[in-house]
Amino acid sequence: MALATRLLSPLGGNRALGSHKGYGLGVLVDILSGVLGGAVYGDLFFRSDMAEKRQHNVGHCFAAIDIARFRPLPEFEAAMDDMLRALKESPKSEGEERIYTAGEPEAECERQRL
């Protein structure tokens, strides 16, 4: 299906194509940023007296990845350039002029303000 249209469905698409992976990724983020650090996870905020106390206890998770342990850095950089190019050349939604990648709108705003 995805190969026939050459379009990506949101995080796996329907169940037959793995939509449950989006759920799994969400749970992983909750574990890393909530459970692991002792912060709020899932619906804990609403199941406890935290809402009453207006106590949020937001958690974060930061990770550093040594890319060279996976593959040579120049190969990774070339593959990333190719991936970003393919993303930007994807069909755009009706009325949209371009596709942004993470950080681009903020970088453009910063350039305009300098």
Region of residue 41 (phi > 0: left; psi between -120 and 50: alpha; otherwise: beta): beta
pLDDT given for residue 71 in this prediction: 98
* Average pLDDT of the segment spanning 30-39: 93
User: Rounded distance, CA 53 to CA 55, Å?
Assistant: 5
User: Rounded distance, CA 20 to CA 92, Å?
Assistant: 25
Evaluate if pTM is beyond 0.75: no
* Average pLDDT of the segment spanning 49-55: 75
In this prediction, residue 48 has a pLDDT band, given cuts at 50, 70 and 90, of confident
